[in-house]
Copies of this chain bind each other. A is one copy, B any other.
Amino acid sequence: MVQDNRFRVRYRLKADSAAEAEKRATGIALEQTVEIPGDIVPEGYISNEIVGQVEDVAAAGPDTYKATISYSPDSAGEEVVQLINVIFGNSSIQQNIRVIDFEPGPEIRKRFSGPRFGIDGVRARTGRVRGGLISPVIKPQGSNVSQLADIARRCVLGGADIIKDDHGLANQRMAPFRERVTAVSEAVGEANAKCGGSACYFVNVTGHSGYPIDEAFQAKEAGAGGVLLMPGLVGFGVVYALSRDKSFDLPIMTHPSFTGPFVLTPETGVDHGLMYGVLQRLAGSDISVFPNVGGRFGFSVEECQSIAKACRDPEGVGKAMMPSPGGGMSVERAGDMVSMYGEDVVYLLGGSLLRAGDKIGEAVSAMRDAVDQLSAT
């Protein structure tokens, strides 16, 4: 193990030769820090500390190399936005470079404390001591406030742990933000009281006023038990700020909207586990939503497992977080899912749940039973 304060990023890149690969790696190290040609980098602090240092370049297949570059925590400061900017900001625009690993090092671990709640904290808030959590999604967009509240109420009575807003619920005229949050929070609270539950309502916060953080606090005041944020659209900085704000103190679920191109092409972007595990956790998310295998999106079993692993990696930054596979869950598939994801997981129950209509509570209850039976064995 290297004993210094730097953080390390591993890239997979294409090159015609080892010499070309070295040159590309050096290019990344400059691009991600000083962004000036190597021969005019000022000596001293900038050259010794700030410029990325290529530590290793090794062949990894035909025309393929893996390069490890170390960076100074001084480049990132205390900001997750700037840290990601250093990891892959401009180099994301070059062909055939993919981020495949990130090692924070001691200083970044100190500065970035990760999730406020993590797995244990989410369990404490929802009262689900063991077994997978169940999170029905209230939708569709276009429903009015009382329709959404009614679905939420039925789902809580059915045994849901988390009621999640559809990520398409923002501040639309059929269900304005404040009205939606107030009505659904009340419905969830009443249903909790009735059944002795502790279900939490996670409000989708898009920042319609331009201030997502203010909007998150509005949600809290209206009774929300958590927030849903889309880092691809609102930025990782919002996740980071809210997770560190003691007066906010609600768990955060992050959603993958508008991040697909980062993972879909193996030659560019960022590995699945990094995008939906490492970066979410680094920013301070407690629950990371991603498209489950077998649903409408083409993620493989291995890709989904790499995400779950990164979310819960004991070596990761701060507390372990909950992976939350969306889609592909049903009573019939519950056995497969539990054996794939284990206990520390939030199962999203999406659009197909609505097929149950007025019996949506019973559908949630059936899922609850299926997961509990499997966890008990």
Contact = CB atoms under 8 A, between A and B. Distances in A.
Interface string A166-203: 11101111100000000000000000000000000000
Contacts of A170: 76-77, 79, 81-82, 85
Interface stretch (A89-97, A122-130, A309-317): A89-97
Nearest to A140: B34
Interface stretch (A8-16, A230-238, A339-347, A364-372): A230-238
Contact of A85 (B76, B173, B258): B258
Interface stretch (A58-66, A155-163, A291-299, A328-336): A291-299
B142 A88 contact: no
Contacts of A296: 27, 31, 94
A36 interface: yes
A121 interface: no
Given A85-B233, A93-B256, A297-B93, A172 B207 contact: no
A76 B233 CA distance: 14
Contacts of A142: 33-34, 42, 45-46, 49-51, 74-75
Copies in the complex: 2
Interface in A206-221: 206-213
B264 A95 contact: yes
B213 A168 contact: no
Contacts of A86: 168
A26 interface: no
Nearest to A207: B237
A82 B35 CA distance: 33
Contacts of A258: 84-85, 88-89, 92
B211 A210 contact: no
Contacts of A31: 296
Interface of A: 27, 31-37, 40-42, 45-46, 49-51, 74-79, 81-82, 84-86, 88-95, 139-143, 166-168, 170-174, 206-213, 230, 232-238, 240-242, 244-245, 256-265, 267-270, 291, 296-298, 350-352, 354-355
Nearest to A234: B235
A168 B85 contact: yes
Given A92-B258, A170-B85, A210-B238, A355 B37 contact: yes
A49 B173 CA distance: 13
A260 B256 contact: no
A107 B263 CA distance: 34
